[in-house]
Structures are given as structure tokens and as C-alpha cells.
Chains A and B, each alone.
Chain A
Amino acid sequence: MSARARAATAMAFRDQRRRPLVLVLLVIVPAYVITRSIAETLPTPRDVGLPGGAIVHTTMKDVHGAEMGGVTIAFVVALVGVFVMQSALEGDRRLVLAGFRPGETVLARLAVLLAATAVVVGVSALVTALSFDAASWPAFVAAFLLIGLIYGGIGALAGAVLDKLAATYLMLFLVMTDVGIVQSPMFSTTPGRFAVLLPGYAPSRLMYEGAFSTGFHAGGELALSLAWLVAVAAAVGFVLSRAVSSRSVSAPS
């Protein structure tokens, strides 16, 4: 990492340190939503279809235990993505005009997004563990991380190309539709035919595999999740580099 990239990253983190409420809310929002929703759900019977084709007979309480972390991580990290990139667009063009390469400023903002994702995933896994025992924690937490990174990237893309109000509404709509409904066994034992087209499909399948299966039959889903992550990361790098480059002339409001 060049000295300029290190300086840009240090400044981006210093910018976040000046806003302690962000960190407090990144802890409180997932902790409250996950804890409260699991605690209040009754253990009514529910079937969940897993990637290997097995059907697990479980309860709504456990389904909520598995699912709420994913939904909350996706929405919170997507919002972080939207606003970290809005900040980048406001300030980083000046850095580029001052001699920084666009890639160096983008790297700094992505480091902030990664750190926020790590906080939200860590808190979510911890509070989930207080009320739900996943069958395979490594697969379950990996799915949390993949959901966070993919949706953080999608939020960053939305923040780079859309008005902040539109981007906020879009993230709510997309996360609730994808992770909250289409992929959720609360609505259907296995996801429908077109669910695979959405970004939450593969990491959600991995999440339910980790939650309810001690074996691992979700290799395809893991590969698809990684493919989504690479594609989203490449798109974020490309869009942001163009957006902050000195040749760009317009910015979203």
C-alpha cells in the first residue's frame, strides 16, 4: 500500500471516529432487532429445505434465530455502503484533484466499509449465539459475512449513482424482498424458481445450511456467493473510480 493510500485510509477512519454515534448504532440496531425478534417468537412448527435437499423440521423461533441476523446485517451494512460512498463522493474528488489516484481513495472507503461490516457481523453473530445454537457456526458466520459484504457493495453502488433518499428506500425494498421474503423459509420451505437470480440467494442458502445442518452440502452456494462478491466488488471499484476521477463532472445530490 502506498503512503498516499495509507494516508487516505487513516483520514477515512478518522472521519468515522469523529462520529461515535455511528459505532453505537452499528452495535445497538442489530443487537436490539435480533434479540427482540428471537425472544418474542413462539416455537410453532416449521419446515426448512436445505441445499442438499434435506427437509429439517424445526420451529419458527429457530428459523427467526437463523434469519434475523442475515436480514439485519444486509440492511444495516447496505445503509453504511450508501452513506460511506456519499461521503466519498463529497470529499474524494478534491483528493484526486490534489494528486491522489482514484483507486487509492476508493481503497480507503472500502476499508471503512469492511470494518463496519466486521462490526455488524460480529455483533449479530454474538447476539444470535445468546439465543440460537447454529449446527455449524463456521458456515453460519461465513454466510453472515458474505451477506454483509455483498449488500455493503450493493449499497455502495446505490450510494454512488442514486440520490440518498432513493438509495435508502431501494435498500429497504431490496433487502426485505430478497433476504426477508424470497429466500426466507418463514414464507416457503425452499426458495422459489427465480430466487437464484437475487444476490441474497446463495449466502442465504449457506446461512440456513450452517444453521440447521452439521454436514456441508452448500459448496455450489458458497461458490455462487463468492462470484457475487467478486462481481459486486469489481462494480464498486469501477463505478467509484470513475465517480471520483477528476474527469467526472456531476455528482448525485
Chain B
Amino acid sequence: MLSAALPTSTAFVREHLRAPLTLAMLIAIPVFFVLVFASVLGEFSEALGGTLASQSATAISAGWATAFLCGALAFFQVSSSRGADRRLAAAGLGPLRVALSRIFAALAIGLTVSAVAFATLWLRSGVEHPLHAFAAIFAFAATYTGIGAVVGAFVKGQLEGSLLVVLVFSVDAFSDPQMTSNGLIAQTPTGEAANLLVAAGGGQGSPGGDWAGAGLIALAALAVALAAFWSSARMRA
């Protein structure tokens, strides 16, 4: 199963990165968010009634940049490739292997974006818990891969799909406990990952509950993304 899926994954990664500007943006946006936003996000958070200190603000900007990039990528993976994936599945690869290939491709790009965001964060402000920070940034990537894929599975139009990803991202970012004093939305998709990232950025460890929560949400998001890729590759009767 994996031996068939891996070469296809490599082809899917090449498919997404064939436009040089896409690759440039996947690198430039995390660097930009971390370097530029981080310098003011602490003050911005204070104005929003949140509690984010400057060091932690630098860290969370890396998570959000990764989240948006991976959400948009997963949405377009499902939305743009539906026809091609069905033909690949019908030609003998099967919907599960097509879906696994898509997930591996999304994870490879997500890992790359996470690594760029993490490296920028580390170089700019240093991170006392680098492994914690990297894991948390990758949790943002995995969570938004699931969100983007689900939107792609249910919404066919690319304008409405990308706007929906923007809306989910906005609700999530504005409801983050570190960025708001308003507890209207108690649970957000990246709430636990944000706790881990903020703690790592501030040189603190994190309780097991946050690790379990972020891990479970990331795994659930990847499972949902797999189901979305499988569903879009499946032939309809």
C-alpha cells in the first residue's frame, strides 16, 4: 500500500510546487509573519484584552502562518484534483491509496512550512523548548490540513471554499484565549496547540492535558482529511 502511495505523493508534491511563486510564498509567508507580526503582536494582543507577551506572540505568529497556508493548500488539493484523483483511482490505484498519497503530500508540505516557520522563530528570538515549539507548529499544520480538506469535500466552488477557510481561520484566531478576553467560544481547533506554542515561546513546559488535546485534535483532523481525500477520489455510481 505504502510503496504504491509514496511515488504518487512525490508527484502530488511536485504538482503543487510547479509554480515557483507558490514555493516562494510557502517560504516567504511564515518568515514574514514571524518577523513582522511578532514585533507588534504582543501590543496588539494587549489591545485586544489578551495576555500574550512579546516572546510568546512571536511563537504564535509561526503557528497561524502555518495554519492558513496548510488550510488553503488542503482545500485546493481536494477542490482542484477531484477529477484527476477519480481517474487515478479508477485506473487501478484505488481511492484509499490516492487518499494516502494526498495526505503524505499535504504532510510533506506541512512539515516544510512548519520547519520554515520554526527556523525563523528560532533564529529571531530563540526557543527554550524547540521540540515543543516544532510539535505545536506542526499541530497547527495538521489541524488546518483537516479543516481545508473538509471544506474542499463539501464546497465545490473555489471562491466560496477559500472564503470559508478564511472565515474558520478568522473565528479561530480571534477566539484564541491568548488574543481575547472574550470567552464566548470555549473550544477552538487550535486552542491546545496555541497553549503549547505560547508556553514553548515563553520558556515554559506544558501540562499533559494540552499535549493530549493538541495531539488528539491533530490526529482527528488528519483522519478527517484522509476521509475527505478518499471521498473525493471515490467513483460515484
Contact = CB atoms under 8 A, between A and B. Distances in A.
Interface of A: 19, 21-22, 25-26, 28-29, 32-33, 36-37, 39-42, 44, 60-61, 64, 75-76, 79-80, 82-84, 86, 162-166, 168-170, 172-173, 176-177, 181, 186-187, 253
B93 to A, nearest CB: 21
B212 interface: no
A41 B48 CA distance: 4
A36 B28 contact: no
Nearest to A83: B159
Nearest to A26: B163
A24 B121 CA distance: 37
A19 B21 CA distance: 29
Interface of B: 16, 18-19, 21-22, 25-26, 28-29, 32, 36-37, 40, 44, 46-49, 68-69, 72-73, 76, 80, 155, 157-160, 162-164, 166-167, 170-171, 174, 180-182
A163 B157 contact: no
Contacts of A168: 72, 76, 162
Given A40-B174, A165-B16, A253-B80, 16 more contacts: A19-B159, A21-B155, A29-B163, A29-B170, A33-B174, A39-B182, A40-B181, A42-B48, A44-B46, A60-B47, A79-B166, A164-B158, A168-B162, A169-B26, A173-B28, A181-B37
Nearest to A188: B40
A42 B49 contact: yes
Contacts of A64: 47
Contacts of A37: 48, 174
B197 to A, nearest CB: 20
Contacts of B28: 173
A182 to B, nearest CB: 10
B44 A19 contact: no
9 contacts: A21-B155, A32-B171, A37-B48, A44-B46, A61-B47, A75-B166, A165-B19, A173-B28, A187-B40
By Cβ-Cβ distance, the 8 closest A-B pairs, closest first, are A169-B25, A83-B159, A163-B19, A25-B163, A60-B47, A166-B21, A166-B22, A21-B160
Contacts of A253: 80
A9 B160 CA distance: 21
A75 B182 CA distance: 25
A163 B69 CA distance: 15
A163 B47 contact: no
Nearest to B15: A253
B46 to A, nearest CB: 7
A25 B76 contact: no
Contacts of B49: 40-42
Mostly, the A contact residues are helix
B40 A186 contact: yes
A42 B47 contact: yes
Nearest to A20: B160
Contacts of B72: 165, 168-169
A163 B21 contact: yes
B47 A21 contact: no
A172 B68 contact: yes
B158 A22 contact: no
A44 B42 CA distance: 14
Contacts of B157: 19, 21-22, 83
